[in-house]
Amino acid sequence: MCGIVGYIGGRNATPILVEGLRKLEYRGYDSAGIAVLEGARSRVVRCRGKLGELEKLLAAGHPSGTTGIGHTRWATHGRPSDENAHPHKVGGIAVVHNGIIENHLSLRAALAASGRTFSSETDTEIVAHLIDAELAAGGGSLGDAVRRALARVRGAYAIVVLSDAHPDLLVAAKNASPLVIGLGDGEGFVASDVPAILEHTRRVIFLEEGDVAEVTRAGVTLTDLAGRPLVREPRVITWSAVQAQKDGFTHFMLKEIHEQPRAVADTLRGRLDLIGATTLLDEVELEPRTIRRLFLVACGTSYHAALVGKFLIEGLARIPVEVDLASEFRYRDPVIGPEDLFVAISQSGETADTLAALKEAKARGARSLAITNVVDSSIARAADLRFYTHAGPEIGVASTKAFTTQLISLVLVAVRLGRLAGTLSETRAAALLAELATLPARLKEVVDQAAQLQAIAQRYGHAKGMLFLGRGPLWPIALEGALKLKEVSYMHAEGYSAGEMKHGPIALVDADLPVVVLALRGPLYEKTLSNLSEVRARDARVIVVATQGDTEIRAHADEVFFVPDVSPELQPIVATLPLQLLAYYVADLRGTDVDQPRNLAKSVTVE
Ligand code: G6P
């Protein structure tokens, strides 16, 4: 999510850190900062805003030294502010951190009980305290203190530690968030992403889970968390700077599709309480007995998430749900009041229509919840309650990982409501949550088969258009598949409820119209197969997304793409990825501007 740069060498660290952070600006961020060792003390300069703001502060007197760390922050715990910007300094320890510490609340309580006080709302400050406490307790090196501190931490992190008392050392550690060490001549670098250091060195070591690196001017020493030595061979990066921004993928959209297993894991992190068979929803405290109805309101791709949300919440919590396009809701004189919960779903948190709809609902007395990816965005601030999707910045204009993490968020909200309403048994909730925990690995299985979708795209990518069909909770995914295809490839596409298809779109069906059918095993499988037969009878070429292990489906299809066998509530998520990949590969084949399609904007802040 955020960006990290660290430097130790013979040159002035400040410009190297600031320029490194600039190379990561494309990732999106809301605050920035550096810490540089000046003699025996590090000086921290940090602020809310863009690097330009930081540079203004640095112009007034920048720290001068040859060892330092820098960070661009994308808020997760705590709003974007000067205090929450990294680095966080506690005693002589300065820390920058990417990721999410799951047990930060219990660690904060334990540290507070031992008399420690905090100057930010972040989970990162906890890590700085833990390391400082370990050093104060004595025994061992800075590396030992970091390892002992991390043994108490659960969650995802990439951290770099700078210590006043250890001027010739940076300690870096990684678990589930990327971190790379750059090897220079008499100097060393640390970065969350290769572009930050590419102009200085191409010899790098990618850290693996649980690695701790002690970086000096002479080189790097690696251990695991228990302090056992490790050897990792350096690699030479041959990517260009532009390729490096995309992790070697040809487009951000493809990179972000592949990031979804990680993004989904981040959405789930700290929110699954399997023992209590409930879900922990941060700031969200819902009381279903007082909720008469929910309104899920959104635009674009987020509207498709809302449509899935209706199935999830009505199915698991038995509370009626209305779904609206924000641009319609705001002008239709909606019947909504204090007993209703208005849920705004917005990746950016800034969409003008969604914000206006939220204000309209609040003016009529409804309570409100924002499901969004951007901490402290306008919609997050305007709502009474917030649930952050933690997908990380999305750069491709066509939404991919932001959408799947919205779906995950809606499953969590539905499970929570179902448990509170007493409509969802503890056993069923526990089973669903256990299955959710396996989802990142299942999604990885899907993206690992991307080549198959590339081949399908090559066979059908020149068609005049495509029709996408699904039923039940897969109907909104058919809509999303069609939207994604038209957004990025400019091919005309239509998504339809498979059962409704006979009332119109069937007139379009012929041998030149490929039809994508979402036919996963479940309560509506047989019905969907009947609809599939209707289009086949009219000579359509049929591409089916089916459940792994479905041995009969090949007889009904020209192409089959198998997805993992999951519960119906999670099928929309596994079925989305192949459609994103299909859209991407058709667009790539047609040579469109995949990441910035014509006429589209990532964040639509005008009506
Ligand atoms: C724009 C984007 C879409 C997005 C929609 C809603 O049209 O191009 O990808 O789905 O806005 O955005 P939001 O940020 O509210 O989810």
pLDDT for residue 297: 98
On whether the CB atoms of residues 343 and 297 are closer than 8 A, the answer is yes
pLDDT value of residue 237: 86
pLDDT at residue 17 in the model: 98
Q: Which residue has the tokens 């430097």?
A: 7
Ligand 1: does its nearest atom lie under 6 Å from the Cβ of 301?
Answer: yes
User: Average pLDDT of 494-504?
Assistant: 94
C-alpha atoms less than 13 angstroms from C-alpha of 366 in its C-beta half-sphere:
27
Grade residue 61 by pLDDT with cuts at 50, 70 and 90.
confident
Residue 550 has pLDDT above 70, yes or no: yes
Q: Is 600 in the pocket of ligand 1 (CB under 6 A)?
A: yes
CB 594 within 8 A of CB 588: yes
> How far does residue 388's CA lie from ligand 1's centre (Å)?
16
Measured by CA distance, the residue closest to atom 15 of ligand 1 is 346
- Measured in Å, residue 306 CA sits from the centre of ligand 1 at 13
Residue 232 scores a pLDDT above 90: yes
Residue where the block lists tokens 């969590």:
412
pLDDT exceeds 80 at position 283: no
- 351 C-alpha to center of ligand 1: Å? 7
Q: What are the pLDDT digits (tens) for 180-196?
A: 999 999 999 999 988 89
- Separation between Cα atoms, residue 543 and residue 532, nearest integer Å: 10
Is 80 exceeded by the pLDDT of residue 507?
Answer: yes
pLDDT, averaged across the chain: 94
What is the percent of the chain with per-residue pLDDT over 70, rounded to a whole number? 99
Q: What is the dihedral of CA 305, 306, 307, 309, to 10 degrees?
A: 90
Ligand 1 proximity of 580 Cβ (cutoff 6 Å): no
Ligand 1 center to 399 CA (angstroms): 7
Choose one of 296, 487, 604, 606 to mutate for the ligand 1 pocket test, by most ligand atoms within 8 angstroms of C-beta. 604
Q: Using CA atoms, how far apart are residues 311 and 290, in angstroms rounded to an integer?
A: 20
Cis geometry, peptide bond prior to residue 523 (ω within 30 degrees of 0): no
For residue 139, pLDDT over 80 is answered with: no
pLDDT at 479 over 90: yes
Atom of ligand 1 nearest to the CA of 379: 15
Closest-CA residue to 63 (of 94, 84, 91, 90): 94
Q: What is the DSSP letter of 569?
A: G
pLDDT digits (tens, 9 = 90+) for 258-276: 999 999 999 998 898 877 7
Tell me the two tokens of residue 43: 């000086």
Specify the DSSP element, H or E, that contains 571: helix 571-590
Q: Annotate 252-274 with b (16+ C-beta within 10 A) or e (fewer).
A: bbbbbbbbbbbbbbbbbbbbbee
Q: How far does the centroid of ligand 1 lie from the alpha carbon of residue 298, in Å? A: 9
**pLDDT above 90 (res 213):** yes
In three-state secondary structure terms, 548 is coil
Atom index in ligand 1 nearest the CA of residue 397 equals 8
Q: Is 397 in the pocket of ligand 1 (CB under 6 A)?
A: yes
| pLDDT confidence band for 109 (50 / 70 / 90) | very high
What pLDDT, on a 0 to 100 scale, did the predictor assign at position 78? 84
Which of 256, 348, 593 has most ligand 1 atoms within 8 Å of its beta carbon, as the pocket-test mutant? Answer: 348
| pLDDT of 559 strictly over 90 | yes
For residue 606, is pLDDT > 80? no
Residue 170 scores a pLDDT above 70: yes
Amino acid (one-letter) located at 65: G
Residue 601 confidence (pLDDT): 81
405 lines ligand 1 (CB under 6 A): no
State the pLDDT confidence band at 513, using cuts at 50, 70 and 90: very high
Q: In a mutational test of the pocket of ligand 1, which residue from 397, 603, 606, 607 has the highest number of ligand atoms less than 8 Å from its CB?
A: 603
Q: Which residues of 373-389 are buried (b: 16+ CB within 10 A; e: fewer)?
A: bbbbbbbbebbebbbbb
Tens-digit pLDDT profile for residues 303-315: 999 999 999 999 9
Helix (H, G, I), strand (E, B) or coil at 536: helix
Give me the amino acid identity at 187. Answer: E
Q: Determine which of 245-249, 525-529, 560-564 has the lowest per-residue pLDDT on average.
A: 245-249
pLDDT of residue 247: 86
In terms of pLDDT, which residue wins out, 237 or 21? 21
SS3 label, residue 204: strand
pLDDT exceeds cutoff 90 at 162: yes
Q: Model's pTM, two decimal places?
A: 0.85
Nearest to 336 by CA among 293, 298, 301: 293
At residue 270, the pLDDT reads 85
Q: What is the pLDDT of residues 12-46, one digit of tens each?
A: 999 999 999 999 988 788 999 999 999 999 999 99
- For the residues 53-65, what does the mean pLDDT come to? 93
